[in-house]
Structure 1
Amino acid sequence: MSFTWTAHRFSGGALALDVANSVVLRFDPQRRIDRFADQTAIDSFAEAADLHGSERQRFGRLGPIGPERRSSLIDLREAADRHFRAVVRAEDRPELLADLLEAIAAVVRQPGDGGGYIALDVATAHSALSLVANPEPDRLKICPNCEWLFLDRSRNRSRTWCDMAVCGNRTKAKRHYRRSKQETQP
């Protein structure tokens, strides 16, 4: 199946969150889609993050990872997702922080790829570590429409959706449809 990484896929505000959001419909076992199930999708994600990612200036050029590093990237993605969701929900779960730090350590201990770029897994580890080191729990949110993690960088911290143009519009359209349907019923 062909898939394109669009700017919407990078609405998390941090590379670690964008990687965590690579699982679509995470909590719906029937419709869940892991965009990193295919190695070529991981490679194209790194390329797209160079174009659309919010941390592209911080890391410079992101590069692909070899198939032997895929499992550590997936472990990091899952640990980041569990930890940051717990942060949003104000759950005191120190074991999730420990899991995330272990996943970060596993990635950064691997030998570098070289080639004039930073490997996607290493950049993701640095991004996650930055979120842990500089916590802004009131800025970290979960989109009520798609359940993606995102950083609210609005001045008054009032952002509701990961992407207003996608999730915000879908939510507003559903609301409008329900209202108009109720008005037409006797």
Structure 2
Amino acid sequence: MSFTWTPHRFSGGALALDVANSVILRHDDERRTDRFEAPGQMESFPRAAVNFCAERALFGDILPVGQENRSDFIDLREAIDAYFRARILDRNVDGLLADLLEALSKVMRGAALSDGLDAATVHSTLRLIAMPDPDRMKICRNCGWLFIDRSKNKSRAWCDMAVCGNRAKANRYYRRKKEESPP
């Protein structure tokens, strides 16, 4: 399957969340897609992050994760998702925080370059852990991606209004019309 990295794919608001969101439909076993499993996607992700990620000004150019560190990087991605998803849902995160910190440590020890995607993701994750207003982190009601709500009144419900918001509104409209139509 071929993918294109578009601005929508970087709607998490932080590099670490964009990395976690590289799994599409994470909780749907039949439709789940790991974009990093597709050939060339892990190599092209850093270039797209430089163009589209909300934190792009913090990193400059980002190099791809080295082949020897990819397994640890994927483990970090999964730990990021598990920890922040549980934190958003107000679940006990103590064990998940320990797992996340362990994954962060492992990636940093293996990162060959400080300007690689792995190192940039570690720094982004540490900023998120220390985020002053953790209530701004949410789960998209449509696709399930993690994102930071930077709206003034903290009312954002979708990772990207132009994609997920429109889909949700179209689904509501369709259901309403279907209920209104006579049998």
TM-score, reference length from structure 1: 0.94
- The one-letter code matched in structure 2 to 1:158 is S
Hey, what's the Cα distance between the residues in 2 that align with 1:90 and 1:24? 23
Secondary structure in 2 aligned to 1:90?
coil
Structure 2 CA distance for aligned equivalents of residues 93 and 120 of structure 1: 25
> Mapping of 1:1-186 within 5 angstroms?
1-38=1-38, 40-113=40-113, 118-186=115-183
User: Match for 1:146: what amino acid?
Assistant: C
- Decide whether the 8 Å contact of 1:10 with 1:54 is kept in 2: yes
Q: Mean Cα displacement is larger for which, 33-42 or 157-166?
A: 33-42
Post-superposition offset of 1:2:
1.6
Displacement of 1:134 in angstroms is: 2.4
Q: What RMSD over aligned residues (CA atoms) do the two structures have, in Å?
A: 1.2
Per the alignment, do residues 136 and 149 of structure 1 end up closer, same or farther by CA in structure 2, a change over 3 Å counting? same
1:6 and 1:176 mapped to 2: Cα distance?
27
Aligned AA for 1:163? D
Q: How many residues align?
A: 183
Determine if contact 2:111/2:119 at 8 Å carries over to the other structure: no
Query: What do the CA deviations read for 1:127-171 (whole angstroms, capped 9, x no partner)?
Result: 001111224221010001000000001111111100000000000
Amino acid of the structure 1 residue aligned with 2:46 = A
CA distance in 1: counterparts of 2:93 and 2:39, whole angstroms: 32
Task: Answer yes or no: is the 8 Å Cα contact 2:15–2:53 preserved in 1.
Answer: yes
The residue type paired with residue 176 of structure 1 is Y
Kindly indicate whether the alpha-carbon contact (under 8 Å) linking 2:113 and 2:119 is maintained by their aligned counterparts in 1.
Answer: no
d(CA) in 2 for partners of 1:177 and 1:122?
45
Equivalent residues of 2:108, 2:119 under 8 A apart: yes
Q: TM-score, normalised by structure 2?
A: 0.96
Aligned in 2, Cα 1:74/1:174: closer, same or farther, shift over 3 Å? same
Q: Deviations over 1:112-137 (max 9, x none)?
A: 237xxx10011011100111122422
For structure 1, which segment, 91-100 or 126-135, has the greater mean C-alpha deviation from structure 2 after superposition?
126-135
Moved more, 176-185 or 9-18: 176-185
Deviations 1:60-89 (A, max 9, x none): 111112211111110100000000001101
The Cα of 1:36 is off from its aligned counterpart by 0.8
Identify unmatched segments of 5+ residues in structure 2.
none
Contact 1:39 1:67 in 2 (8 A): no
Deviates more, 1:56-65 or 1:76-85: 56-65
SS state of the match for residue 138, structure 2?
Answer: strand
Instruction: Work out the percentage of aligned pairs sharing the same amino acid.
Output: 60
Q: Which amino acid aligns with 2:43?
A: D
